[in-house]
Amino acid sequence: MKSSWKVVVLWMLPALLIGFFLWQGAFSSSAMDTGRNAASTRMSYGRFLEYLDSGRVTSVDLYEGGRTAIVEGIDPEPVLGSQVQHWRVDLPSNAPELIAKLKESNISFASHPMRNDGAIWGLLGNLVFPVLLIAGLFFLFRRSSNIPGGPGQAMNFGKSRARFMMEAKTGIKFDDVAGIEEAKEELQEVVTFLKQPERFSAVGARIPKGVLLVGPPGTGKTLLAKAIAGEAGVPFFSISGSEFVEMFVGVGASRVRDLFKKAKENAPCLVFIDEIDAVGRMRGTGIGGGNDEREQTLNQLLTEMDGFEGNTGIIIIAATNRADVLDSALMRPGRFDRQVTVDAPDLKGRLEILQVHARNKKLSDEVSLEAIARRTPGFTGADLANLLNEAAILTARRRKEGITMPEIDDAVDRVVAGMEGTPLVDSKTKRLIAYHEVGHAIVGTLLKDHDPVQKVTLIPRGQAKGLTWFTPNEEQGLTSRSQLKARITAALGGRAAEEVIFGDAEVTTGAGGDLQQVAGMARQMVTRLGMSDLGPLSLEGQSSEVFLGRDLMTRSDYSEEIASRVDTQVRAIVGKCYEDAKQIMRDHRTVIDRLVDLLVEKETIDGEEFRQIVAEYTVVPEKEEYVPQI
């Protein structure tokens, strides 16, 4: 209501001003119309003299100091009505003989004095307009001062925008953070430093100046910072790296100075900078139009963290998922003494995370959090939180009282592959997709070094018309050459099934994503892992991304001849795996046809049922399954 009232006032101000001046003009002219009705027509001064000489004028009223006259006379040729008419005549200023002539003609005339109201209202009008204008501008200025970056804050550009909390009450403690125990231990020491510094100073230990949290998105870096703020009980500043840099030169450096000035006034304290790579990127050579303002901000940040004066009692906690692009001067000890890796959780960590997020969820007795943790390798904490939330949404949509395993399964599929689409109708296309997915699954089942099949489905999700899920071996840090070849062969199983069953002319575009995955794995085997006839050589780095100012001028580490041999080796690896996949299709055509008929009928086959059917026709190799200790 308050904001709408302000809008109404803003719209009424111009209307009131216009109405005031119109009313003032009308009031000033009303004096002339009060003595006699307003003349309907005008008459020139020359014609007025002609009427005066011919005796047609009966009376004259003078107004405005003799500048205007209302003449009553007889019109010889009236158009409508009476012959007595009234005219308005503008008199010249140099016509003193007019009064004498009126007296000689014995014509009644009267002079009406000017009213002083016009001067009074004119003075008021001259005062009211500036007052209203100043009041309106003041009101707009106050309103814009509440808008971030508005004109009312023009003098605050150089001030830090960090959120300050004297006693941070984030509602999050270390008990609410699970799955990253190593990182928690590192940061709990920081809290202990702040609460009991004498324990460490007694043995000569120095409080760390900075802690850098590094890890993929969604692993809990910001959550850890909130937990530190909730546990430490000291003043806490939080800001994003992008809030330092503006389009104005010097603003970022000024904000850094202001932030550390406030932090020194409240030491000991914590300063959390989220996404520090926005301001801490490596200083380049200007190639590609480098942002010099960002580099000035970084230089000021380096000086404040460990410069000539120092910043005793201030602990900087920063988070990023791009530690590879940070400037080396920012990463050195003395600025960031500790680098804490916050990685995706293992099976035990996922179980602990699920237990935290399941506190406010109503789960049925059949739901096993351990089973969910086994099904979700590679999931981060944010993924697991989203998984349980999606399951809760599906439960509410289906009007169930508690979350059951079908909702969990559907939520996993939705998070990984996307929203469920419309089921396929029974047609040639559906059978072709069924052969494609069974081709993936049969190869993955019959190859000993491949991960076991979890389920095969024809229910579309996202861009995929069908999906084959495999359960990766948990905690598999190293991958052998045979395992990589098995994955390439299974990825080519769909295309091999299409070609063997339907012929080369009926091969579809459904294997496009599979082929991209295959090409990437085969090229890594040749260029990075040394698993080809080229020998144990690493021809490419871990990342092929170009970083402006550092890698733009980097050239290839091998010649064109080696590049040609790399392509040959990649084609040889993929060709051999593709022939193996086609051979599996030819040798097990009977079981493939039965699995396709069952899949078209049921639309989904779980991994255990799939393996039982395959075992009726051939020997299924036993695969080593990792059983972790929880």
The span from the CA of 59 to the CA of 112, in Å, is 14
Helix (H), strand (E), coil (C) string for 413-434 = HHHHHCCECCCCCCCHHHHHHH
Q: What is the pLDDT of residues 151-186, one digit of tens each?
A: 444 445 455 556 665 555 666 777 778 878 888 888
User: What pLDDT sits at residue 95?
Assistant: 64
CATH topology match: 347-417 vs 428-538+557-615: no
User: What pLDDT sits at residue 148?
Assistant: 46
Strand pairing partners for 68?
63, 90
Which residue in 231, 437, 498, 499 is the catalytic one?
Answer: 437
CATH class of 2-117: alpha beta
Q: Which residues of the chain have pLDDT under 70?
A: 1-40, 65, 77-83, 93-96, 114-126, 129, 141-171, 246-250, 284-291, 309-311, 473-477, 541-557, 623-630
Residue of 91, 230, 96, 105 lying closest to 173 (CA atoms):
230
Q: What is the pLDDT of residues 364-374, one digit of tens each?
A: 988 889 888 88
Helix (H), strand (E), coil (C) string for 268-331 = CEEEEEECCHHHHECCCCCCCCCCHHHHHHHHHHHHHHHCCCCCCCEEEEEEECCHHHECHHHH
**Who's near 284: CB < 8 A, 6+ residues apart?**
290, 548, 549, 550
Domain 163-341, classified CATH 3.40.190.10, yes or no: no
Superfamily of domain 428-538+557-615: Peptidase M41 (1.20.58.760)
Q: What is the pLDDT of residues 296-308, one digit of tens each?
A: 888 888 888 887 7
Which residue is listed with tokens 């500036």? 130
The span from the CA of 380 to the CA of 378, in Å, is 6
Backbone angles phi, psi at 211, to 5 degrees: -125, 125
* Domain range annotation of the chain: 2-117, 163-341, 347-417, 428-538+557-615
Query: Two tokens at 316?
Result: 């900087």
Domain 347-417, classified CATH 3.40.250.10, yes or no: no
The span from the CA of 410 to the CA of 408, in Å, is 6
- Whole-model pTM: value is 0.67
Quick one: CA dihedral 460, 462, 465, 471, positive or negative? Answer: negative
Whether 437 is a known active-site residue: answer yes
The one-letter amino acid at 41: T
